[in-house]
Structure 1
Amino acid sequence: MTFKDLNLNKFLWNALEDLGFSEPTSIQELAFSPVMSGRDVVGIAQTGTGKTYAYMLPILRSLAYSRQDNPRVLILVPTRELVVQVVDEIEKLCTYLDTRVLGVYGGVNINTQKKQIAEGLDIIVATPGRLYDLAVSRVLQLKSIQKLVIDEVDVMLDLGFRPQLMNIFDILPPRRQNIMFSATMTDDVDALISDFFQNPERISIARSGTPLENITQVGYKIPNFYTKVNFLIDQLASVETYSKSLLFTRDKRMADRLFKILDEAFPEQCEVIHSNKTQNYRLNSIKDFEEGVVRILVATDVMARGMDIDDISHVINVDTPNYPENYLHRIGRTGRAQRQGISLVFTTPKEEKALEDIEELMQYKVPQTPLPDSIAISEELAPEERPEAKEIYNPHRRNSNDEDAPGPAFHEKIDKNKKVNLGGSYRRTIEKKYKKPKTRGDKNYNKRNKRK
């Protein structure tokens, strides 16, 4: 089947030809008719199979020309980078269409976005938090929404966006088409579908957790973080082999630590991206990596979902992720659009259980390759790997098993705070000094004392 066989108009055909696309992927072929029909649709497909075009092609085909100010299509995505990417893909498809598209997300001036909304639009792509802020301010009217698309819904729920989604559902028109696409199906996603979707048609082209066939996976058992760094420096020295490498770390601190080391080893060849970086910095880092200005990008899982960057040669899991689904999303950044890709995963002894969980989800055992003898085994441990210092015996420390033992926040009072509050301290001081009350009126006070 080619795109000519789908019920597209000449404007979409011309746009697809300009992009060099002639044949739809499996999810694009299977989702076209159900989405066009107007019924609720749930699509599950492996990452890198073209889910964005799977819902956008039928939506644009059925979206009639209109000059109303309020948007008719709402697309929710979990991250700012995905907003930018989806808007860019829609604009490519709308080259020959008079369709107005706007992306909104947090981290930038909301007043600028309010002005853009006031100018009128047809499709709005947004993160849940910023969309709700704009809707509450009454600048963005959602009463005309006809189609709601939730992309990467599983990661939205993982990131804690469920309350915002519930609030958005409450202010959307009840009569609308709901479309949901994701790479994995979880219990939370299934519960969301049961609560808000009306007898949806489910489309699945692969079992959730199936790895892409065109990605070669290789594993290395490495004792600690700094030995991983030694191996990385040795491998990344080959510019031709590692022409475009995306490195994933567990958290922001590890990303910054790794970037600092690699930037010294490969000056002006590395960038880093995580949630603590400003939006402009993040977008510029992605742009530099995409255009080949740098060949190494160190990232946290903020880059693991939905990002479509061409020709990534290697995805390197510097740590083995605790959540098996995150591994699948990470490696899905390479081997996209039928291209070949390579994924490396480094595993310490503490991470072996996480690797077993990944292999169980994929029903596939990652082939292990021994570490080359030339790689120096580091004795230095990262802060996360160092054992906790334990106090063997301290006779002055209270035993936590004692019944009267205070809580962990207990500390002794300083001397001035140990005094007992008897009340009326000024009156007691006067009585002690003058042997009489300060009040006037008891004229016989001194006479009585003299008789005594």
Structure 2
Amino acid sequence: MDEDQLDAVADFAALELRPELLRALSGLGYEEPTPIQREAIPPLIAGKDLVGQAATGTGKTAAFALPLLQKLEAGAQDGPASLVLVPTRELAEQVSQAVHRYGRELGVRVLPVYGGQPITRQLQVLRRGVDIVVGTPGRVLDHIERGTLQLGEVGTVVLDEADEMLDMGFAEDIEAILAETPESRQTVLFSATMPPRIDAIARRHLRDPLRIRMGRDTAAADTLPKVRQTAFLIARAHKTAALGRVLDVEAPQAAIVFCRTREEVDEVTQSLNGRGYRAEALHGGMSQDQRDRVMGRLRGGSTELLVATDVAARGLDVDLLTHVINYNVPSAPEAYVHRIGRVGRAGREGAAITLAEPREQRMLKAIERLTGQRITPEKLPTVTDLRARRLELLRTTVRETLEDEDLERFRPILDLLTDEADLERVALAGLKLLNEANGGDVDEPEIPTAFPPREREPRDRGKPGGHRYPNERRPRGNTDDTTRVFVGLGRRAGLRPQDLVGAITNESGLPARDVGAIQITDRFALVEVPEGEADRVIRSLQKSTIRGKRPTVRRERFDR
């Protein structure tokens, strides 16, 4: 490694990484480790088990990938040396690509395995041999059951975004996979949040783990995500207009707008494009090629707004994001943490803005309790505010143009105009034309202010005379009314609750926490979903396969 390369990654060199990794980091433009990398890399190289609480965007992929590569002896064994479990196909691809970039000089053989991809290619690569497998729990377990993935020689298992995997119903799969690995393995767990069930997994499967928390207690103030968190109370009928108003005032460089459902994503995208924004949709109904093209346009700057569901946006890593906007309050506080971790990186300030209906204030309070941070309620910008903002942007544009060096070519025009009118009036006319070119004066109706509703007594949401099932969960979505969906697969087909939750979440975009009671019989299953989402869930499941089969899916009938 030459002197310039060594200087560029001097801080990484202090972590005693092998030269091949230092050269790769230098070539990728890495200059110094992030806090999670400084804390995690040395003990992981030393073989310690570790529990790390770190949000998206803190550099945790490199924090576990570099130690895996540091200890790698390519081709030294038949089965993989390391296994990384992740919740989604997008994250599997992202982690796999990162491992490949870091370990290029080491000749690392890394394979992503996930559903939705032909399994024949994965089988071919596994037969040739791999060093590191990155996969979703369902597909990894599928390979184990087929006998095509042997984990008897795995030295390290990484559970990345463990809270997301549990939310998607993968707890049993994770337990089954860990049972196939040696007891002497090193186990690493990363999670944005640490609910009790994550701690339970750590106590059960990790040996005297080192615990790292990237938060107020461990990170320096200047390394914490700088995110301005605000909320606007908006009646549902005015939500779309309010979103446009907020975007007009904020003028983000690049933003993600999170929606609950595919249909909502498409509606919001169409509305924003009609308002003059360059917006792209991203949801589970799109092919991987379509998603890749959308992300390429966002990273390339030809798209400024991404409208997405949580499921579709998992694993996305876009450094230039300045704003995250919640079109609805996330039904799970943990989802909010994952979302805001995408902005405020590398010392830059970001903004997290939530459009909340008045009845969702309690959900905002739950988020505040989890994060320990205040979400500031603000009054929606008025038409006057928007006009002032546009004039401010106009002034900024003119100021920046004053620095240009090619202004003299316009002097002949200025001389002619000042022969007919004074200089001040000419300047005002120019400003007027520029303002009109940028959309002109705002002529929009004011958006009504939403007032919080009076507190109501909680309603009993139990079903009189109904049965509770072991896997029952109560929906926390946007409605109190629920219905049950019939799925024509049951225990005889090997159906498990996590299969249903995973299919519903990935295919319809419905958050896992909005899936309610699940009943599985020998021949069929019933799953409770919010009434307002039932038709979408049914349409999505009718187009998908579960346990390799395409089942009958419809609303529950009461004439059986």
- Fold equivalence (TM over 0.5): yes
Superposition pairs for residues 294-309 of structure 1, below 5 Å? 294-303=303-312, 305-309=314-318
Match for residue 9 of structure 1?
18
Tell me which residue corresponds to 1:259: 269
Identity %: 38
* 1:219 lines up with 2:247 in the alignment: no
Question: C-alpha separation between the residues in 2 aligned to 1:103 and 1:316?
Answer: 31
Match of 1:63 in 2: 72
Q: Secondary structure of 2:343's partner?
A: coil
Helix, strand or coil for the counterpart of 1:2?
helix
Matched, 1:89 2:98: yes
User: 1:20 corresponds to which letter in structure 2?
Assistant: G
- Bigger radius of gyration among the two: 1
Q: C-alpha offsets along residues 69-99 of structure 1, whole Å, 9 cap, x if unaligned?
A: 4211111110111111111211221132211
**Does residue 1:136 correspond to 2:145, yes or no?**
yes
Shift of 1:368: 2.4
Would you say 1:33 and 2:39 are equivalent positions? no
Q: TM-score, normalised by structure 2?
A: 0.64
What secondary structure is seen at the aligned counterpart in 2 of 1:361?
helix
**Which residue pairs with 1:377 in the alignment?**
447
1:359 maps onto 2:400 in alignment: no
Equivalence map 1:203-214=2 (5 Å): 203-206=212-215, 212-214=224-226
Is 1:344 matched up with 2:344? no
Whether contact under 8 Å (2:82, 2:154) holds in the other structure is yes
Deviations 1:218-275 (A, max 9, x none): 2212122x4221122244457x9322110011233322332232244347x2222223
SS of corresponding position for 2:104: coil
Gaps of 5+ in 2: 1-9, 384-444, 450-476, 482-555
Q: Within 1, Cα distance between the matches of 2:273 and 2:260? A: 19
C-alpha distance in 2 between matches for 1:109 and 1:12: 32
Cα deviation for residue 306 of structure 1 reads: 4.2
Aligned pair count reads 385
Q: Find the counterpart in structure 2 of residue 119 from structure 1.
A: 128
Distance 1:197 1:232, change over 3 A: same
**1:301, 1:263 → 2: CA distance?**
21
Distance of 1:236 and 1:373 partners within structure 2? 13
Secondary structure at the counterpart of residue 43 of structure 1: strand
The structure with the largest helix share of the pair is 2
Residues 315 and 344 in structure 1, CA contact (< 8 A), matched pair in contact too: yes
- Rounded Cα–Cα distance in structure 2 between residues aligned with 1:120 and 1:387: 51
AA in 1 matched with 2:242: F
2:251 aligned with 1:241, yes or no? yes
Q: Is the 8 A contact 1:248 1:299 kept in 2?
A: yes
Does the CA-based 8 Å contact 1:249-1:255 persist in structure 2?
Answer: yes
Q: CA RMSD of the aligned region, Å?
A: 2.8
Higher relative contact order (CA 8 A, sep 6+): 1
Equivalence for 2:470: none
Structure-1 separation of matches of 2:54 and 2:92: 20
Q: How does 1:111-190 map to 2 (within 5 A)?
A: 111-190=120-199
User: 1:310 aligned to 2:322?
Assistant: no
Looking at structure 2, the residues matched to 336 and 99 of structure 1 have their Cα atoms a distance apart, in angstroms, of 29
Q: Which amino acid aligns with 2:111?
A: L
The change in CA–CA distance for 1:409 and 1:56 in structure 2 (over 3 A counts) is: closer
How far apart in 2 are the matches of 1:322 and 1:106? 26
Rounded Cα–Cα distance in structure 2 between residues aligned with 1:186 and 1:387: 25
Matched residue, 2:210: 201
One-letter amino acid matched to 1:250: R
Distance (Å, rounded) in 1 between the aligned partners of 2:17 and 2:558: 71
* Alpha-carbon distance, 1:410 to partner: 6.7
Shift of 1:205: 2.9
Give the conservation status (yes or no) of the 8 Å contact 1:108–1:279.
Answer: no
Query: Structure 2: which amino acid aligns with 1:228?
Result: K
1:283-342 deviation per Cα after TM superposition (whole angstroms, max 9, x unaligned)? 332333222232211111125544321101211111111221211111111112333211
Q: Deviations over 1:335-393 (max 9, x none)?
A: 123332111111111211111111222222222221123354389xxxx98999xxxxx
Quickly say closer, same or farther: Cα 1:113–1:284, change in 2 above 3 A.
farther
Which is further off, 343-352 or 365-374?
365-374
Tell me the distance in 1 between the aligned counterparts of 2:325 and 2:241.
Answer: 14
What is the match of residue 57 of structure 2? 48
Whether the 8 Å contact between 2:234 and 2:242 is mirrored in structure 1 is no
Q: Which runs of 5+ in 1 are unaligned?
A: 389-407, 412-452
Instruction: Verify the 8 A CA contact 2:88 2:315 in the aligned structure 1.
Output: no
- Separation of aligned partners in 2, 1:331 and 1:166: 30
Q: What SS does the aligned partner of 1:125 have?
A: strand
C-alpha distance in 1, partners of 2:70/2:348?
28
Paired with 1:326 and 1:178, the residues of 2 have a C-alpha distance of 25
Given residue 164 of structure 2, which amino acid in structure 1 is its aligned partner?
V
Equivalent residue letter for 2:103: C
Q: 1:233 to 1:410 in 2, by over 3 A?
A: closer
Deviation string 1:130-150 (CA, Å, 9 cap, x unpaired) is: 111122222222222111011
Residues in 2 aligned to 1:338 and 1:114: alpha-carbon distance in whole angstroms:
43
